Amino acid sequence: MKLQDKVAIITGAASGMGKAIAEGYAQEGAKVVVSDLNFEGAQTVAQAIIESGGEAVAIQTNVASEEDLQHLFEETKAKYGKIDIVVNNAGIMDGMEPVGEVSNERWDRVFSINTTAVMQSMRLAVEEFQKQGHGVIVNNISAGGLYGARAGAAYTASKHAVVGLTKNTAFMYADQNIRCNGIAPGGVETNIGTSMTNMSQFGFSRQQLGMGINPRTGKPEEIAKLAIFLGSDDASFINGQVIAADAGWTAY
Protein backbone atom coordinates (compact mmCIF):
# COMPACT_ATOMS: atom_id res chain seq x y z
CA MET A 1 0.00 0.00 0.00
CA LYS A 2 1.24 3.46 -0.92
CA LEU A 3 0.78 5.11 2.48
CA GLN A 4 1.35 2.25 4.89
CA ASP A 5 1.74 3.51 8.49
CA LYS A 6 1.85 7.16 7.42
CA VAL A 7 0.00 9.62 9.67
CA ALA A 8 -2.06 12.11 7.70
CA ILE A 9 -4.05 15.16 8.77
CA ILE A 10 -6.82 16.09 6.35
CA THR A 11 -8.80 19.29 6.93
CA GLY A 12 -12.36 19.72 5.72
CA ALA A 13 -12.68 15.94 5.68
CA ALA A 14 -16.30 15.50 6.74
CA SER A 15 -17.59 15.71 3.17
CA GLY A 16 -16.70 16.13 -0.49
CA MET A 17 -13.10 15.89 -1.62
CA GLY A 18 -11.77 15.84 1.95
CA LYS A 19 -13.91 12.83 2.80
CA ALA A 20 -12.79 11.02 -0.34
CA ILE A 21 -9.14 11.81 0.41
CA ALA A 22 -9.50 10.56 3.99
CA GLU A 23 -11.08 7.33 2.79
CA GLY A 24 -8.51 6.88 0.04
CA TYR A 25 -5.60 7.49 2.39
CA ALA A 26 -6.98 4.96 4.87
CA GLN A 27 -7.38 2.37 2.10
CA GLU A 28 -3.70 2.89 1.29
CA GLY A 29 -2.70 2.16 4.89
CA ALA A 30 -2.49 5.65 6.41
CA LYS A 31 -3.62 6.54 9.91
CA VAL A 32 -6.03 9.35 9.15
CA VAL A 33 -6.96 12.37 11.24
CA VAL A 34 -10.37 13.49 9.98
CA SER A 35 -10.49 17.21 10.75
CA ASP A 36 -13.56 19.36 10.23
CA LEU A 37 -15.66 22.06 11.86
CA ASN A 38 -18.57 19.65 11.40
CA PHE A 39 -17.58 17.26 14.17
CA GLU A 40 -20.55 14.93 13.72
CA GLY A 41 -19.70 14.56 10.04
CA ALA A 42 -16.02 13.99 10.84
CA GLN A 43 -16.94 11.30 13.37
CA THR A 44 -19.12 9.56 10.80
CA VAL A 45 -16.26 9.49 8.28
CA ALA A 46 -13.76 8.25 10.88
CA GLN A 47 -16.12 5.55 12.11
CA ALA A 48 -16.76 4.31 8.58
CA ILE A 49 -13.00 4.07 8.01
CA ILE A 50 -12.57 2.09 11.23
CA GLU A 51 -15.44 -0.25 10.32
CA SER A 52 -13.74 -0.87 6.96
CA GLY A 53 -10.58 -1.99 8.73
CA GLY A 54 -8.68 1.31 8.64
CA GLU A 55 -7.43 3.56 11.40
CA ALA A 56 -8.84 7.05 11.94
CA VAL A 57 -9.75 9.62 14.53
CA ALA A 58 -12.00 12.70 14.24
CA ILE A 59 -10.90 16.08 15.59
CA GLN A 60 -13.14 19.13 15.45
CA THR A 61 -11.27 22.06 13.95
CA ASN A 62 -12.18 25.56 12.94
CA VAL A 63 -9.25 26.20 10.60
CA ALA A 64 -9.80 29.95 10.94
CA SER A 65 -8.73 29.61 14.57
CA GLU A 66 -4.98 29.32 15.09
CA GLU A 67 -5.68 27.83 18.52
CA ASP A 68 -7.79 25.09 16.92
CA LEU A 69 -5.05 24.32 14.42
CA GLN A 70 -2.48 24.03 17.18
CA HIS A 71 -4.81 21.70 19.04
CA LEU A 72 -5.22 19.60 15.87
CA PHE A 73 -1.47 19.11 15.51
CA GLU A 74 -0.93 18.50 19.23
CA GLU A 75 -3.70 15.91 19.41
CA THR A 76 -2.39 14.14 16.31
CA LYS A 77 1.10 13.92 17.83
CA ALA A 78 -0.37 12.70 21.12
CA LYS A 79 -2.41 10.03 19.35
CA TYR A 80 0.07 8.78 16.75
CA GLY A 81 3.46 10.18 17.77
CA LYS A 82 4.23 11.79 14.42
CA ILE A 83 2.78 13.58 11.38
CA ASP A 84 3.88 12.54 7.90
CA ILE A 85 1.36 14.25 5.59
CA VAL A 86 -0.83 17.32 5.91
CA VAL A 87 -3.60 17.82 3.36
CA ASN A 88 -5.01 21.34 3.50
CA ASN A 89 -8.41 20.81 1.94
CA ALA A 90 -10.81 23.01 3.93
CA GLY A 91 -12.13 26.01 2.01
CA ILE A 92 -15.16 28.14 1.20
CA MET A 93 -16.53 29.93 -1.84
CA ASP A 94 -17.32 33.62 -2.15
CA GLY A 95 -20.48 34.99 -3.73
CA MET A 96 -18.99 35.46 -7.22
CA GLU A 97 -18.57 39.18 -6.48
CA PRO A 98 -16.19 41.10 -8.75
CA VAL A 99 -13.87 43.54 -7.03
CA GLY A 100 -16.35 46.39 -7.44
CA GLU A 101 -18.89 44.54 -5.31
CA VAL A 102 -16.85 42.62 -2.73
CA SER A 103 -17.19 43.71 0.88
CA ASN A 104 -14.39 43.83 3.42
CA GLU A 105 -16.27 41.24 5.48
CA ARG A 106 -16.46 38.77 2.59
CA TRP A 107 -12.83 39.34 1.65
CA ASP A 108 -11.58 38.83 5.20
CA ARG A 109 -13.64 35.68 5.78
CA VAL A 110 -12.61 34.02 2.52
CA PHE A 111 -8.94 34.82 3.09
CA SER A 112 -9.06 33.68 6.73
CA ILE A 113 -10.16 30.18 5.71
CA ASN A 114 -8.70 29.75 2.22
CA THR A 115 -5.32 31.40 2.72
CA THR A 116 -4.34 32.38 6.25
CA ALA A 117 -5.47 29.04 7.69
CA VAL A 118 -3.47 27.19 5.05
CA MET A 119 -0.36 29.23 5.87
CA GLN A 120 -0.75 28.58 9.59
CA SER A 121 -1.28 24.86 9.04
CA MET A 122 1.78 24.73 6.80
CA ARG A 123 3.83 26.59 9.38
CA LEU A 124 2.90 24.03 12.03
CA ALA A 125 3.59 21.19 9.60
CA VAL A 126 7.02 22.48 8.63
CA GLU A 127 7.98 22.80 12.29
CA GLU A 128 7.19 19.11 12.82
CA PHE A 129 8.73 18.00 9.54
CA GLN A 130 12.02 19.74 10.29
CA LYS A 131 12.26 17.93 13.62
CA GLN A 132 11.69 14.50 12.10
CA GLY A 133 13.55 15.07 8.84
CA HIS A 134 10.70 14.51 6.37
CA GLY A 135 7.15 15.45 5.51
CA VAL A 136 4.66 16.16 2.75
CA ILE A 137 2.12 18.95 2.30
CA VAL A 138 -0.69 18.67 -0.24
CA ASN A 139 -2.79 21.79 -0.75
CA ASN A 140 -6.16 21.35 -2.42
CA ILE A 141 -6.31 24.67 -4.21
CA SER A 142 -8.65 25.02 -7.22
CA ALA A 143 -8.53 25.90 -10.89
CA GLY A 144 -9.53 29.28 -9.45
CA GLY A 145 -5.95 29.58 -8.26
CA LEU A 146 -4.65 29.32 -11.82
CA TYR A 147 -7.19 31.31 -13.80
CA GLY A 148 -9.27 34.40 -13.27
CA ALA A 149 -12.90 33.52 -13.88
CA ARG A 150 -13.79 30.45 -11.85
CA ALA A 151 -15.27 32.47 -8.98
CA GLY A 152 -15.36 35.99 -7.57
CA ALA A 153 -12.49 38.30 -6.69
CA ALA A 154 -12.00 37.12 -3.10
CA TYR A 155 -11.95 33.38 -3.85
CA THR A 156 -9.77 33.83 -6.92
CA ALA A 157 -7.24 35.97 -5.08
CA SER A 158 -7.22 33.67 -2.05
CA LYS A 159 -6.45 30.64 -4.17
CA HIS A 160 -3.83 32.42 -6.27
CA ALA A 161 -2.11 33.26 -2.99
CA VAL A 162 -1.99 29.59 -2.00
CA VAL A 163 -0.40 28.72 -5.35
CA GLY A 164 2.44 31.12 -4.54
CA LEU A 165 2.64 29.87 -0.97
CA THR A 166 2.88 26.27 -2.22
CA LYS A 167 5.72 27.04 -4.62
CA ASN A 168 7.63 29.20 -2.14
CA THR A 169 7.40 26.57 0.59
CA ALA A 170 8.49 23.80 -1.78
CA PHE A 171 11.61 25.70 -2.77
CA MET A 172 12.51 26.93 0.69
CA TYR A 173 12.53 23.45 2.25
CA ALA A 174 13.45 21.32 -0.75
CA ASP A 175 16.81 20.39 0.76
CA GLN A 176 15.20 19.26 4.03
CA ASN A 177 13.22 16.32 2.61
CA ILE A 178 10.00 18.31 2.76
CA ARG A 179 7.74 18.38 -0.29
CA CYS A 180 4.82 20.71 -0.97
CA ASN A 181 2.48 20.38 -3.94
CA GLY A 182 -1.00 21.48 -4.88
CA ILE A 183 -4.05 20.17 -6.67
CA ALA A 184 -6.18 22.46 -8.83
CA PRO A 185 -9.54 20.72 -9.33
CA GLY A 186 -11.99 22.00 -11.89
CA GLY A 187 -15.70 21.49 -11.31
CA VAL A 188 -16.15 18.68 -8.79
CA GLU A 189 -19.37 17.35 -7.31
CA THR A 190 -19.16 18.58 -3.69
CA ASN A 191 -21.24 20.67 -1.32
CA ILE A 192 -18.93 23.72 -1.37
CA GLY A 193 -21.71 25.64 -3.11
CA THR A 194 -23.56 25.73 0.20
CA SER A 195 -20.95 28.23 1.43
CA MET A 196 -22.07 30.71 -1.23
CA THR A 197 -24.36 33.42 0.12
CA ASN A 198 -25.69 36.70 -1.29
CA MET A 199 -24.43 35.78 -4.74
CA SER A 200 -23.66 38.52 -7.25
CA GLN A 201 -25.85 38.03 -10.30
CA PHE A 202 -23.44 40.04 -12.43
CA GLY A 203 -20.41 38.08 -11.24
CA PHE A 204 -22.24 34.78 -11.68
CA SER A 205 -23.29 35.67 -15.23
CA ARG A 206 -19.68 36.48 -16.13
CA GLN A 207 -18.35 33.31 -14.50
CA GLN A 208 -20.88 31.18 -16.35
CA LEU A 209 -19.49 32.18 -19.75
CA GLY A 210 -16.77 29.53 -19.41
CA MET A 211 -18.96 26.70 -18.21
CA GLY A 212 -19.90 25.67 -21.72
CA ILE A 213 -16.36 24.47 -22.40
CA ASN A 214 -16.15 22.39 -19.23
CA PRO A 215 -16.07 18.77 -20.51
CA ARG A 216 -17.62 17.36 -17.34
CA THR A 217 -17.66 17.60 -13.58
CA GLY A 218 -15.43 15.32 -11.56
CA LYS A 219 -16.00 12.95 -8.68
CA PRO A 220 -14.32 13.56 -5.32
CA GLU A 221 -12.71 10.13 -5.61
CA GLU A 222 -10.90 11.24 -8.77
CA ILE A 223 -9.26 14.08 -6.87
CA ALA A 224 -8.45 11.70 -4.00
CA LYS A 225 -6.40 9.51 -6.34
CA LEU A 226 -4.17 12.48 -7.17
CA ALA A 227 -3.87 13.39 -3.49
CA ILE A 228 -2.80 9.83 -2.73
CA PHE A 229 -0.12 9.98 -5.40
CA LEU A 230 1.24 13.33 -4.23
CA GLY A 231 1.32 12.16 -0.62
CA SER A 232 3.16 8.96 -1.47
CA ASP A 233 6.78 8.16 -2.26
CA ASP A 234 5.72 7.65 -5.89
CA ALA A 235 5.84 11.46 -6.10
CA SER A 236 9.25 11.75 -4.43
CA PHE A 237 10.66 13.86 -7.30
CA ILE A 238 7.61 16.13 -7.58
CA ASN A 239 7.82 19.34 -5.58
CA GLY A 240 6.39 22.83 -5.95
CA GLN A 241 3.84 21.81 -8.56
CA VAL A 242 0.15 22.65 -8.83
CA ILE A 243 -1.54 19.98 -10.92
CA ALA A 244 -4.87 20.67 -12.61
CA ALA A 245 -7.43 17.87 -12.47
CA ASP A 246 -10.29 19.14 -14.60
CA ALA A 247 -10.94 16.84 -17.60
CA GLY A 248 -9.18 19.37 -19.82
CA TRP A 249 -11.28 22.43 -18.93
CA THR A 250 -8.24 24.66 -18.51
CA ALA A 251 -6.59 23.32 -21.67
CA TYR A 252 -8.84 25.59 -23.74
Label the pairing between strands 178-185 and 31-36.
unpaired
Check: CB of residue 23 under 8 Å from CB of residue 44: no
Do 8 and 33 contact (CB within 8 A), yes or no? yes
Instruction: Identify the helix (H) or strand (E) that includes residue 230.
Output: helix 220-231
Residue 8 carries which side chain, given as an amino acid letter? A
Q: Which amino acid is at 227?
A: A
From 14, 79, 16, 38, select the one nearest 222 (Cα to Cα): 16
Give whole-number Cα distances, 81 to 27, 45, 84, 98, in Å: 21, 22, 10, 45
Q: Is 132 helix (H, G, I), strand (E, B) or coil?
A: helix
Question: Can you say how many angstroms the Cα of residue 51 is from the centroid of all Cα atoms in its chain?
Answer: 25
CB 47 within 8 A of CB 14: no
Residues in CB range of 129: below 8 A, 6 or more apart: 83, 135, 173, 176, 177, 178
For residue 215, the SS3 value is coil
Residues with catalytic roles: 155
